[in-house]
């Protein structure tokens, strides 16, 4: 029984080896490749000739296009330089926040001396064109919006 199995196995191996050699010799890819190479060998590339002469029509087109003034303008106009930030220290000259205050929280008011005149101000009120944004124990924050941007300065309370 062992010999029969060995003979069958050797026969199967010989059949596989024969199929492998036959497939390698008659490869469909190799057959297609050789047919394409034969077709490529028969093809003759077409002759393309391009004229180098410039007709008068071309010259007229070139003059018409290059004479357009917008041709030489940039596609995007350069952005204007942003305005310089305001000098808040100069704008608030003569403004001296004092330590005097009344109320607490949202009702908190602080006494501010403006040009020698003292008055009570709260968050949101204007002093010389600047709005009071925040009142703390040590300083008052003044802000101004210019060009869509907010600038601020904190003046110490004295």
pLDDT tens, 49-84? Answer: 776 666 668 778 888 888 887 777 777 788 888 888
100 phi, psi to nearest 5 deg:
-70, 130
**Alpha carbon of 153 to those of 16, 99, 131: distances in Å?**
91, 18, 11
**In which band, very low, low, confident or very high, does the pLDDT at 132 lie, cut at 50, 70 and 90?**
very high
pLDDT tens, 85-117? Answer: 999 999 999 999 999 999 888 889 999 999 989
Q: What is the mean pLDDT of the chain?
A: 87
Q: Tell which wins on pLDDT, 67 or 156.
A: 156
DSSP state string for 62-80: HHHHHT-GGGGS-SSPPPP
The answer to whether 130 and 92 are in contact (CB under 8 A) is yes
pLDDT tens, 76-85? Answer: 788 888 888 9
The answer to whether 141 and 134 are in contact (CB under 8 A) is yes
Query: Does the pTM of the predicted model rise above 0.85?
Result: no
Question: What does the pLDDT average to over 31-42?
Answer: 90
Question: What does the pLDDT average to over 21-29?
Answer: 78
Residue 128's pLDDT is 93
Domains of the chain: 88-156 (2.30.30.830)
90 phi, psi to nearest 5 deg:
-75, -40
Would you give the end-to-end CA distance of the chain in angstroms?
115
């Amino acid at each position: 029984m062992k010999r029969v199995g060995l003979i069958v196995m050797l026969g199967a191996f010989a059949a596989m080896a024969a199929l492998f050699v036959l497939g390698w010799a008659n490869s469909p890819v190799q057959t297609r490749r050789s047919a394409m190479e034969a077709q490529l060998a028969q093809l003759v590339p077409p002759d393309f000739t391009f004229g180098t002469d410039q007709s008068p029509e071309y010259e007229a087109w070139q003059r018409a296009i290059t004479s357009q003034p917008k041709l030489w303008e940039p596609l995007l106009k350069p952005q204007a330089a942003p305005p310089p930030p305001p000098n808040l220290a100069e704008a608030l000259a003569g403004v001296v926040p004092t330590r005097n205050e009344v109320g607490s929280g949202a009702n908190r008011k602080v006494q501010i001396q403006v040009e020698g005149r003292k008055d009570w101000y709260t968050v949101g009120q204007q002093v010389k064109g600047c709005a009071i944004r925040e009142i703390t124990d040590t300083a008052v924050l003044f802000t101004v919006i210019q060009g869509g941007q907010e600038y601020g300065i904190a003046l110490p309370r004295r």
